[in-house]
C-alpha cells in the first residue's frame, strides 16, 4: 500500500510541476510542407515537440527523418519464491533500467525508394543486459547496440501517382531486410513509442528472441492499401533455434530450416491509418476517429521439437491465428478533449503438444538451490507463463480525462488477460492498472502501472500464489 501511495504521490507532483502553461511560441510544431511524408503519417498534436526532418529538395519528396525513443523504468518487484538477486535472497527487489533506447532514421531518397533503420539497446538493468563478471565490465554494464530494423522499400504502385499526384485507391510497396512487418495482430505490429500500457504483454510476439530478433525476422514483405483495407504480408527466414526437449516437453527447434509466412489484414471503418512503416500506434488521444478490425496469421513448418518418450523425437509446426478490434474515439464536449481507447485481441497458438514458454522482463533473479519451499513452474524473479499452445484473450482500455492544462493530459488505463493453455490445468488471469501522464502531448510521458500475475505449482500445474510488480516509466519519444 505504501508503494502505491508513493507512486501516486509522484504522479500528482508531476502534474503540478508540468501542468503550468508554457509559452506557445517555444512549443510550436516544426510544421513543413512535407507533413504527408512523416514516418507514420500521424496527425500533429498541439504543443508536441515537433519532428527531426531534413529536406533534401524543395518539394519534400526527398528527405531524412530521425526519431528518438527513450524509456526508463523504475520498479518494485515482488519476486517469485526461491529467488536470489546477485546471490542474496530477496523477496522484493527495487531496480532501475533502460527498457528501450532507440534511434531511427528514414531516408526517402526518391518518391519510389526508401531506407529505414532503427538501432539501440533494450533491457539494461543493474544486473542484466550487458557484460558479465565484475569490475568495469560488470553485470549489466555496456550493452551492445544492435539493429532492430534495417530494410529497403520500393514503391511498385505508390499511394500518390508520381506524375499526376492523384491518390491511388490501391497501392503496393515491396521491401526486404530485417523488418517488423509482422502478421498475427495489430499489437504484433505495435509502435513501442505509442503504447497505451507501460509495456506490451509480449505474447503478441510469440517468437520473441527465439526465432526472431526482438520481434523482427529477415525476409521480404509486401504492404499497402486497397480502399479502406490495410494489408501486410511477409515471407521470412526465421533465426535458427536448436533447443533439445526433455521427455514430455516441446521446445523451439527449427533445424530443418523452413521459411515462415505471416500476414495481417485490417479494415478502417472511419479515419484511415497509415501503414508507411511497420508500426501502428496504440493511441491517438482523440485526434482521430478510428475503429478498425483485423485478422492475422503466422506459420512456419517444423518450428518445434518434442520428445514424447525416451529417444523418440517429433517435429511440430508453428502456427498462430488472431482476430482483433481497435478503437480510439473522441467523446463528450469537444473543448474537453476527452477520448476513449479500446483494444481487444484473441490468439490461437499451436506450437506443439503442451508447449509452454516463461519470461520475465529484465528479470533480476536466479534460483536459490537451497530454497525449501515450492518453486513456481514459471521460475524465479518476475517470470510468468508467457504463452503456449492454447488460447489467449487480451483486452485493454484507456480514458483520456477532461482537459485541465494546455500541455498536460492524464489517461487512466487497465487491461485483463485470460490464458487457457494446454500445458496448464487451470486458466490464468492477469491484471494491469495504471495511468499515463502526457507532457507536450505524446512527446513526453510518465506512466505508472501495477501488474498482478498468478504462479503455478510445477506438480499439479494449478495456481498456488500471486505476485505483483510496480513500474514507473519515463518516456521521451519523437
**Pairing state between β 338-350 and 170-179:** unpaired
C-alpha triplet 216, 220, 223: angle, nearest 5°: 90
How many other CB atoms are there within 10 angstroms of residue 462's CB atom? 12
Q: Read off the pLDDT of residues 311-341 as tens digits, 9 standing for 90 and up.
A: 999 999 999 999 999 999 999 999 999 999 9
0.75 surpassed by pTM: yes
CA distance 369 to 365: 12
CA distance 105 to 152: 12
| Percent of the chain whose predicted confidence (pLDDT) is above 70 | 89
Q: Read off the pLDDT of residues 409-467 as tens digits, 9 standing for 90 and up.
A: 999 999 999 999 999 999 999 999 999 999 977 779 999 999 999 999 999 999 999 99
Nearest Cα to Cα of residue 367 among 359, 358, 376: 376
Give the mean model confidence (pLDDT) for residues 26-39. Answer: 32
- Residue ranges and CATH numbers for the domains of the chain are 2-477 (2.40.160.10)
**Residue 36 reports pLDDT greater than 90:** no
Say if CB 71 and CB 474 are below 8 A apart.
yes
Sequence-ordered alpha helix ranges (H) in 326-378: none
| Percent of the chain whose predicted confidence (pLDDT) is above 90 | 80
CA 473 distance to own-chain centroid:
14
Residues 6+ away with beta carbon under 8 Å from 237: 217, 218, 219, 259, 260
List beta partners, residue 338.
331
Residue 36 sits at φ, ψ, to 5 deg, of -70, -10
CA distance 219 to 176: 6
**Residue 9 reports pLDDT greater than 50:** no
DSSP string, 174-210: EEEEEE----S-SGGGB-TTS-SSSS--STTSTTTTT
pLDDT at position 374 is 97
**pLDDT range class, residue 134, cuts 50, 70, 90:** confident
Q: Which of 48-57, 390-399, 436-445 comes out lowest in average pLDDT?
A: 48-57
Nearest Cα to Cα of residue 195 among 207, 208, 204, 183: 204
pLDDT at position 406 is 87
Residues 6+ away with beta carbon under 8 Å from 179: 149, 151, 216, 217, 219, 221, 234, 278
* Region of 163 on the Ramachandran plot (φ > 0 left; ψ -120 to 50 alpha; else beta): alpha
Give the mean model confidence (pLDDT) for residues 340-361. Answer: 98
Across the chain, mean pLDDT equals 90
Helix (H) or strand (E) holding 7: helix 2-18
CA distance 56 to 121: 29
Q: Read off the pLDDT of residues 191-241 as tens digits, 9 standing for 90 and up.
A: 999 999 999 999 999 999 999 999 999 999 999 999 999 999 999 999 999
pLDDT at position 57 is 87
Q: Which of 37-41, 155-159, 366-370, 440-444 comes out lowest in average pLDDT?
A: 37-41
List beta partners, residue 77.
93, 469
Amino acid at each position: 500500500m505504501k508503494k502505491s501511495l508513493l507512486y501516486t504521490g509522484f504522479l500528482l507532483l508531476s502534474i503540478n510541476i508540468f501542468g503550468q502553461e508554457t509559452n506557445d511560441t517555444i512549443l510550436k510544431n516544426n510544421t513543413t510542407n512535407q507533413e504527408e511524408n512523416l514516418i507514420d503519417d500521424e496527425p500533429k498534436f498541439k504543443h508536441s515537440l515537433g519532428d527531426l526532418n531534413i529536406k533534401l529538395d524543395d518539394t519534400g519528396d526527398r528527405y531524412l527523418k530521425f526519431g528518438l525513443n527513450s524509456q526508463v523504468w523504475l520498479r518494485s518487484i515482488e519476486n517469485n519464491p526461491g529467488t536470489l538477486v546477485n546471490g542474496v535472497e530477496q523477496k522484493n527487489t527495487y531496480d532501475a533500467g533502460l527498457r528501450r533506447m532507440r534511434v531511427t532514421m528514414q531516408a526517402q531518397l526518391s518518391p519510389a525508394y526508401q531506407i529505414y533503420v532503427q538501432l539501440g539497446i533494450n533491457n539494461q538493468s543493474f544486473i542484466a543486459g550487458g557484460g558479465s563478471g565484475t569490475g568495469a565490465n560488470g553485470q549489466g554494464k555496456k550493452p551492445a547496440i544492435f539493429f532492430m530494423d534495417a530494410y529497403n522499400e520500393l514503391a511498385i504502385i505508390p499511394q500518390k501517382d508520381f506524375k499526376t499526384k492523384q491518390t491511388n485507391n490501391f497501392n503496393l510497396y515491396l521491401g526486404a531486410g530485417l523488418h517488423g512487418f509482422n502478421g498475427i495482430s495489430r499489437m504484433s505490429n505495435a509502435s513501442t513509442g505509442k503504447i497505451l500500457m507501460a509495456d506490451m504483454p509480449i505474447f503478441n510476439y510469440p517468437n520473441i528472441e527465439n526465432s526472431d530478433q526482438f520481434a523482427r525476422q529477415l525476409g521480404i514483405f509486401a504492404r499497402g492499401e486497397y480502399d479502406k483495407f490495410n494489408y501486410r504480408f511477409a515471407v521470412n527466414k526465421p533465426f535458427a533455434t536448436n533447443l533439445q526437449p526433455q521427455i514430455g516437453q516441446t521446445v523451439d527447434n527449427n533445424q530443418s530450416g523452413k521459411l515462415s509466412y505471416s500476414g495481417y489484414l485490417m479494415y478502417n471503418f472511419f479515419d484511415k491509418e497509415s501503414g508507411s512503416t511497420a508500426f501502428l500506434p496504440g493511441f491517438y488521444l482523440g485526434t482521430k476517429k478510428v475503429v478498425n478490425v483485423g485478422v492475422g496469421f503466422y506459420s512456419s513448418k517444423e518450428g518445434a521439437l518434442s520428445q514424447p518418450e525416451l529417444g523418440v523425437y517429433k517435429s511440430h509446426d508453428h502456427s498462430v491465428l488472431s482476430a482483433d478490434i481497435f478503437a480510439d474515439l473522441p467523446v463528450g464536449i469537444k473543448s474537453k478533449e476527452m477520448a476513449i481507447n479500446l483494444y481487444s485481441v484473441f490468439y490461437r497458438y499451436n506450437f506443439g503438444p503442451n508447449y509452454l514458454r516463461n519470461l520475465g522482463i529484465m528479470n533480476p533473479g536466479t534460483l536459490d538451490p537451497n530454497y525449501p519451499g515450492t518453486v513456481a513452474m514459471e521460475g524465479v524473479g518476475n517470470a510468468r507463463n508467457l504463452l503456449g499452445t492454447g488460447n489467449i484473450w487480451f483486452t485493454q482500455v484507456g480514458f483520456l480525462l477532461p482537459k485541465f492544462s494546455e500541455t498536460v493530459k492524464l489517461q487512466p488505463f487497465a487491461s485483463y488477460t485470460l490464458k487457457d493453455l494446454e500445458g496448464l490445468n487451470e486458466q490464468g488471469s492477469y491484471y494491469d492498472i495504471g495511468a499515463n501522464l502526457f507532457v507536450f502531448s505524446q512527446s513526453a510521458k510518465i506512466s505508472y502501472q501495477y501488474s498482478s500475475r498468478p504462479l503455478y505449482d510445477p506438480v499439479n500445474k494449478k495456481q498456488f500464489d500471486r505476485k505483483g510488480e510496480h513500474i514507473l516509466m519515463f518516456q521521451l519519444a519523437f
